[in-house]
């Protein structure tokens, strides 16, 4: 995406809670089984907490047992950017919001059919909009 939302560190800090900032702007992770949307089962769209971009539909959310909200498909391929991540001694694929570069979590190849993917997302990087 060419027209990414760009803000200064001060602007992001003013708009986000300290936990949202740590996760979305610094690449942090919330504690497993602690996030607001881990057991959430409402019908709607999960949006980026930083820029309000639609990211995941509740119809694609499932219980993975991982401790984080998990989805088997993003709302649209162009909503998510994937980056190779070798932090913490692991090789993973980081997922970010394509609109503002917010760190969302990681995607793994151990999800359910039909995609076989598990988009493992921090609740603090999301906000929910009822359909």
Which has the closest alpha carbon to 45: 56, 35, 34? 56
The verdict on whether omega for the bond into residue 39 sits within 30 degrees of 0, i.e. cis, is: no
120 noted as active-site residue: yes
**Could you give the CA distance from residue 97 to residue 81 in angstroms, rounded to a whole number?**
6
Which has the closest alpha carbon to 20: 123, 129, 119? 123
Q: Catalytic one among 48, 50, 100, 120?
A: 120
- Cite the active site residues: 120
């Amino acid at each position: 995406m060419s027209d990414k939302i760009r803000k200064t560190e001060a602007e992001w800090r003013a708009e986000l809670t300290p936990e949202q900032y740590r996760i979305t702007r610094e690449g942090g992770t919330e504690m497993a089984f602690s996030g607001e949307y881990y057991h959430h089962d409402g019908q709607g769209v999960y949006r980026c907490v930083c820029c309000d971009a639609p990211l995941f539909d509740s119809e694609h959310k499932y219980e993975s047992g991982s401790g984080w909200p998990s989805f088997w498909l993003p709302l649209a391929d162009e909503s998510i950017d994937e980056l190779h991540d070798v932090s913490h001694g692991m090789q993973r694929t980081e997922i970010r919001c394509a609109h503002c570069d917010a760190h969302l979590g990681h995607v793994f190849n151990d999800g359910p059919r039909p995609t076989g993917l598990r988009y493992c997302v921090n609740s603090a990087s999301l906000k929910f909009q009822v359909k």
